Copies of this chain bind each other. A is one copy, B any other.
């Protein structure tokens, strides 16, 4: 009997913990309940890191249209030595141009992610590594980036994305 009560208590505790999961919180927020627990900053950070993994996969697949969907409708990509691309069609074109470099390999990783208290904006600062085949052989570059994420209807989207090289101008 004591064992059965302990098992029941364990099951109830498990159910209570499940109610605290990010998925449950997201659902509660989406339902518009003002008293529902908000997703924690750690949950938001994990969501942003997961989108970054998807982004890297889209780069490997040279999928400029897919990458453009990671930005907000009025999002901006600000590449060095080229004009800003604002809005998804322009963003897609910037990515298409960048990924046209032969043998391009691009990776990036966050160094700092800070989520605003309201869970609707986040700062993401990190570094990138880039390589491609130039006319005189393989070109490699390292640099830094800032992405400002905005939570639009429960989905994190890149609202501004800007980067530049660490290396002296050629």
Contact = CB atoms under 8 A, between A and B. Distances in A.
Count of identical protomers in the assembly: 2
Interface residues of A, number: 34
Interface string A63-88: 00000000000001011111110000
A128 to B, nearest CB: 12
Given A116-B116, A168-B81, A145 B162 contact: yes
Nearest to A148: B123
A121 interface: yes
Interface string A86-116: 0000000000000000000000000010101
A116 B121 contact: yes
Nearest to A142: B83
A112 B148 CA distance: 12
A95 to B, nearest CB: 16
Query: What 10 A-B pairs have minimum CB-CB distances, sorted nearest first?
Result: A117-B118, A118-B118, A116-B116, A116-B121, A80-B164, A164-B164, A123-B148, A81-B169, A146-B162, A78-B144
